[in-house]
Structure 1
Amino acid sequence: MNEFDVIVLGGGPGGYIAAERLGHAKKRVLLVEADALGGTCLNVGCIPTKALLNAAKTYAHAKHGAKLGVNAGDISVDWPTMQKWKKQTVDTLVGGVGQAEKKAGVTVVKGHGTFDGPGKVTVDGTQYTGKHVILATGSVPVMPPIPGAKDNPKVVDSTGMLAIEEIPARLAVIGGGVIGLEFASLFAMLGSEVTVVEMLPEIVPFMDDELAAQLRKGLADVKFKLECKVTAIDGGTVKYVTLAGAEESVEADVVLMAVGRRPLVQGWGAENSGLEFSGKGIVVDDRMRTNLPNVWAVGDVTGRSLLAHAAYRMGEIAVANILDPEAHRRGEIMRWNTIPWAVYSAPEAAGIGLTEKQAAAAGYTVGKVTVPAYLSGRFVAEEGVKAPGACKLVYDADSLTVLGVHVLGSYASEMVWGASVVLETELSITDLRQVVFPHPTVSELIREAAWAAKI
């Protein structure tokens, strides 16, 4: 039987979470995935990079443990074993997604799916029909047309970087965004000589400028070439022009192209379906509806937020509104301004909401406060007084409502969810002062910042 209540095209975070939720709601669901369940995030993105980063951090901690009284002796990196750990982690979690879909009663079909218009999807010659279709085709790495980059065996994207057979002695990273920084941090900890070439004045362009500069300085083993435009790649030689017009270059054994990702809107039928989209992604509203009836889009393909956790929430929003057309009235809409982000480098960084510059551009009378991480007893006990770290709050100086929370340092990614609640509930600085944080924790920095604000 090829008839379903909902067909989900794409088994990444947004797609598989939507299918699972719908399955538990007793809907007949078809989940179509051309490759492995879990999409980019689970297979060649979030998860494998975190497995390798954790191994690298363990190595770095062991190398510098003597100052804490821990002498590790002669330690070394076993790259093949690290890769084995990465694969084991990915395989375990991919299997878990498959089991979750099975438990929810979702029918999973592996193959290339084509969207034929509202209610119709064809998979390798077999057409399926559904009352609703959720498009979750994801994104792909951007490969800019830099002369010498194409078909160059020394140039890889993030997927290729995860599969290299040995740690490069010299690594050049083109792009100082999240992907570039995580790989730069990873291989710098493992002993590679790393250079990041970034066209903009600062790394991580969506990050608050003050903390972005601190993060860059915290990555002391990485060389940064800011405001430099790559003009050509010759083998492992990356040529670039500085802001002043000087022509320079860096030699590398591996060149990582990490200039971002783009929504995958070609190759699966969008062009001939009447779907409204552009190179920036499929157009959706705050309920994840497209311009076509009963056709929804979630995750990276929308271009709204290329983050796995954003895709999860988009999938849940779509499901809520499929199950109940009035769900939006009880708040089941996508709130784009409360999506947190994180960079899992060493040190970590995370944030949510407006930066100081964005708040000023939005017309707020901006209040701001930044406190150093050494105000946290746990941070000092684990990292030391001189380790890079800070917490910055951005708020409306008139209403005292918190507009943004930005954190640099250990556990930043684990505490930013609390900041999400702060913004979702529109807490003020005075409200935040009343929240009791466990002691000693690094998260207390948020409380310290609230009390340091001059209000």
Structure 2
Amino acid sequence: MNGFDLIVIGGGPGGYVAALEAAKLGKTVAVVERDAVGGTCLNRGCIPTKALLRASRVFREATCSEELGIHVQNASCDRAAMYAHVQKVMAQLRSGIELLFQKGNITLLHGSAQIEAPGRVLVDGTPYEAQNLLIATGSLPAMPPIPGIHLPGVVTSDQLLQGDGVDCKRLAIIGGGVIGVEFAQIYSDLGCAVTILEALPRLLPTMDREISQNLSMILKKRGVSVYTGASVQEIASGDGELLCRFSQKGSDLETAADCLLVCTGRRPNTEGLFAASFDFPMERGYIPVDEQYRTQIPGVYAVGDVVSGGIQLAHAAEAEAKNAVHAMFGGAPVKNVSAIPACIFTEPEIASVGLTADAAKAEGRKVTVRKSLTSANGKAVVEGAERGFAKLVFDADTDVLLGAQLMCPHASEMIGGLTASVNAGLTAEQLSQTIFPHPTVSEILSL
């Protein structure tokens, strides 16, 4: 029998970080992965989309730089070559993870895992045992029950990043969340006609309302058609194109596309994970855990997208993974997970942490909001920022920072410091003592 201190099921951010953390503690570790290490983030999410965003941004800047005195003639875009570059980036990062596994003496088991009982896993039929099991199998794109959803040309983000629809000239997107707006940015920058259909009243419905409004205006200015409050009725095909029929404000409308991206949410990746004889408690496919990431089965833990009520972000899974490993081996948490930042890599970038003013008020708090505009920031103006701002939300009674919302260049880099400030419970007076370098976009945080 093959025995370990820990078997991790899933080689994504939660899984490989947990394995490396346990190896640092001197534990024997195996990771089971049926696909490529790195999970959704590296192979079908964060990394490939950011690589495409960089490529599409360079193309847009090359073709729209006259105001800078730069004229590029006959600029063209080879999308197949772009996607080949993305594959190179992914391969480099995968090899880096595998090298870390080798240095940490972590056993990588390629295959499909099935949990037979606490501490016992089959990997393609071969049994393995461990003192602890950690489930980090992540999530998959969810497909809503729309007639025509399985027609050729209707794709998920996974398929789009693998090259399906790479040459489309008209892209329709069902879903105006993070994935939807980032792909809208990519394909509109490449000169595609892009349409977003969002069922809720605004794009990015979980973000600050002003961020949603500003992003909608910016996308429309760049030629993206945005329909909110749109209910998709069906998808049909004909004459070499897809027709997406929807209703909005009582009117029946349709949009034509070469490719239709569906990004309306994700579902837990737990199908087939447990043997039929193993009655494992779940909630609609998600796994409930306690504050130490323990499931209801002794010795079995879970982190990341698969957790019931969890935050589906790679860095959240990584933090949870470290805390779970320390919990299972008798240690204290090493990460503060009370404030998890979120970033969206449109242009301008968007980042948020903690409470928005609306969320704080819904909790019955009185708040003070400090807002600065990028239009008055030298570096942001130099970089051509559009409609940007920073909001800092303070408790009106204690002056403690409750949250921050940024829409500006480099927002994703700046939110880390604000996360530390929220975690530390810093006040407006303490933050006002900070000196920000000039000229930087970070000066908009100066109080």
- How high is the TM-score relative to the length of structure 2? 0.95
Counterpart residue number, 1:350 = 351
Aligned-partner Cα distance in 2 for 1:145–1:366: 41
Residue 60 of structure 1: how far off its partner (Å): 1.1
* Cα distance, 1:281–1:333 mapped onto 2, change above 3 Å: farther
Give the AA of the match of 1:232: E
Counterpart residue number, 2:444 = 445
Counterpart residue number, 1:291 = 296
Does the CA contact (< 8 Å) of 1:201 and 1:226 recur in 2? Answer: yes
Residue 143 of structure 1: how far off its partner (Å): 0.2
Residue 369 of structure 1: how far off its partner (Å): 2.6
Aligned-partner Cα distance in 1 for 2:234–2:117: 42
Does the CA contact (< 8 Å) of 1:10 and 1:135 recur in 2? Answer: yes
Counterpart residue number, 1:338 = 339
**What do residues 218-238 of structure 1 show as CA deviations (whole Å, max 9, x unaligned)?**
222211100011011012111
Aligned-partner Cα distance in 2 for 1:334–1:157: 33
Residue 388 of structure 1: how far off its partner (Å): 2.1
Q: How does 1:117-196 map to 2 (within 5 A)?
A: 117-150=117-150, 152-162=151-161, 163-164=163-164, 166-196=166-196
Alignment identity in percent?
39
Does the CA contact (< 8 Å) of 1:287 and 1:334 recur in 2? Answer: no
Aligned-partner Cα distance in 2 for 1:366–1:202: 24
Flag structure 1 segments of 5+ consecutive residues without an equivalent: none
Give the AA of the match of 1:227: G
Residue 261 of structure 1: how far off its partner (Å): 1.0
Aligned-partner Cα distance in 2 for 1:169–1:224: 17
Counterpart residue number, 2:405 = 406
Q: Does 1:256 align with 2:289?
A: no
Which of 265-274 and 390-399 deviates more?
265-274
* Cα distance, 1:270–1:50 mapped onto 2, change above 3 Å: farther
**What do residues 113-166 of structure 1 show as CA deviations (whole Å, max 9, x unaligned)?**
01122111110111111001100011000100101112x011000011111253
SS state at 1:267 partner: coil
Residue 394 of structure 1: how far off its partner (Å): 1.5
SS state at 1:18 partner: helix
SS state at 1:443 partner: helix
SS state at 2:326 partner: helix
Counterpart residue number, 1:50 = 50
Counterpart residue number, 1:427 = 426
SS state at 1:191 partner: coil
Which of 157-166 and 208-217 deviates more?
157-166
Which of 280-289 and 204-213 deviates more?
280-289
Aligned-partner Cα distance in 2 for 1:334–1:155: 40
Counterpart residue number, 2:320 = 314
1:228 to 230, 253, 257: 230
Aligned-partner Cα distance in 1 for 2:279–2:445: 47
SS state at 1:203 partner: coil
Give the AA of the match of 2:10: G
Q: How does 1:82-101 map to 2 (within 5 A)?
A: 82-101=82-101
SS state at 1:166 partner: coil
Aligned-partner Cα distance in 2 for 1:398–1:380: 35
Residue 441 of structure 1: how far off its partner (Å): 1.3
Q: How does 1:350-389 map to 2 (within 5 A)?
A: 350-383=351-384, 387-389=386-388
**What do residues 9-44 of structure 1 show as CA deviations (whole Å, max 9, x unaligned)?**
110100011101111221100100010000111011
Counterpart residue number, 1:395 = 394
* Cα distance, 1:280–1:426 mapped onto 2, change above 3 Å: farther
Aligned-partner Cα distance in 2 for 1:165–1:173: 12
Give the AA of the match of 1:380: V
Aligned-partner Cα distance in 1 for 2:202–2:243: 23
SS state at 1:282 partner: coil
Aligned-partner Cα distance in 2 for 1:274–1:96: 37
Counterpart residue number, 2:329 = 323
Aligned-partner Cα distance in 1 for 2:318–2:349: 22
SS state at 1:277 partner: coil
Residue 74 of structure 1: how far off its partner (Å): 2.4
SS state at 1:383 partner: coil
SS state at 1:339 partner: coil
**What do residues 330-383 of structure 1 show as CA deviations (whole Å, max 9, x unaligned)?**
xx4652x41111111122111111112111111101221322112322111111
**What do residues 37-96 of structure 1 show as CA deviations (whole Å, max 9, x unaligned)?**
001110111111111110000111111222112222321111111011101001110111
Aligned-partner Cα distance in 1 for 2:379–2:275: 51
Counterpart residue number, 1:241 = 247
Does the CA contact (< 8 Å) of 2:322 and 2:335 recur in 1? Answer: no
Aligned-partner Cα distance in 2 for 1:275–1:434: 53
Which of 411-420 and 276-285 deviates more?
276-285
Does the CA contact (< 8 Å) of 1:167 and 1:187 recur in 2? Answer: no
Aligned-partner Cα distance in 2 for 1:424–1:39: 28
Residue 277 of structure 1: how far off its partner (Å): 2.0
SS state at 2:383 partner: helix
Does the CA contact (< 8 Å) of 1:24 and 1:105 recur in 2? Answer: no
Which of 277-286 and 355-364 deviates more?
277-286
Does the CA contact (< 8 Å) of 1:374 and 1:380 recur in 2? Answer: yes
Which of 279-288 and 297-306 deviates more?
279-288
Aligned-partner Cα distance in 1 for 2:140–2:235: 21
Residue 272 of structure 1: how far off its partner (Å): 5.2
Aligned-partner Cα distance in 1 for 2:62–2:19: 43
Does the CA contact (< 8 Å) of 2:319 and 2:335 recur in 1? Answer: no
Does the CA contact (< 8 Å) of 1:115 and 1:270 recur in 2? Answer: yes
Counterpart residue number, 1:72 = 72
Does the CA contact (< 8 Å) of 1:394 and 1:405 recur in 2? Answer: yes
Give the AA of the match of 2:295: T
Residue 280 of structure 1: how far off its partner (Å): 6.4
- How high is the TM-score relative to the length of structure 1? 0.93
Aligned-partner Cα distance in 2 for 1:241–1:271: 43
Aligned-partner Cα distance in 2 for 1:273–1:57: 50
SS state at 1:352 partner: strand
Give the AA of the match of 1:29: V
